[in-house]
Each structure stands twice: as structure tokens, then as C-alpha cells.
Amino acid sequence: MESAPHIEFQGMEASPEFRDKITLQLSRLEERFGRITACRVTVKAPSGHRHVGDPYEIKIFLSLPGEREVAVDRTPHQDERFQEFEFALHDAFSRAERQLQDQVERLRGAVKQHG
């Protein structure tokens, strides 16, 4: 990565354990796909205002060469599993990996672009 990843925690203290888990996921993406030029990860803690536990919201923004980008920013499902940091993190990075794979296939010409 050309610049250090920017990891932001909202509604919670910056946890070294969570930061390490995010960094590990980022390094796995780089090993598999390489050429990620910049990364921003935002972790929003559950608010706890409702009777049912709120989910973690994890957003990932990756910059790639050629002004291409990958953004994972949808609100998670109302699924109890998203109340667990590890599950929410794995889900967000799995979505980022799928988007990166799509980018690779487009570059190779394996996916027909519509438009």
C-alpha cells in the first residue's frame, strides 16, 4: 500500500485488538490482489439504544491504480450475528474481496461491461 491505512472508530475507543484484526484482513487482501494504493476503514459501534442489540457497521474504501475504487458501505442486515465484531468484519472484507475480484476480471476482459 502506498500510504498507511486509515482506521477510524466511531462511538467506541480505538481497540488495539480490533485494529490488529483489521490490519490482518487488509494484508490478506494485499497478498491476494496487491496494488491497493490507499485504504480507509470505519468501524461504528452498536448504539445500544434499542431493545434488540444494534449491529457493528464497518465501511471499507479502497483506492486502486487507474483511479478505480472499491467501496463497501451498505448498512448491515438486521441479523444478530452483526452484533459480533468478528462477524461484521469478516462480512465487510468478504464483500470487498468480491468487488476486488470483479475488478480483476474486468481488467482481464473476462467480464463484459455494459453501458
Rounded to whole angstroms, the Cα distance separating 31 from 20 reads 16
Extents of the domains making up the chain: 6-108
Residue 111 has pLDDT above 80, yes or no: no
Q: For residues 2 and 30, which has the higher predicted lDDT (pLDDT)?
A: 30
In contact, 26 and 5? CB cutoff 8 Å: yes
Output the CATH code of domain 6-108: 3.30.160.100
Instruction: Show the cell assigned to 30.
Output: 494485499
pLDDT for res 69: 87
pLDDT in tens, 61-102: 999 888 888 899 876 667 888 888 999 999 999 999 999 888
pLDDT in tens, 29-57: 999 888 788 999 999 988 765 545 688 89
Instruction: Show the cell assigned to 60.
Output: 471499507
pLDDT in tens, 93-107: 999 999 988 887 877
Rounded to whole angstroms, the Cα distance separating 11 from 29 reads 26
pLDDT for res 109: 72
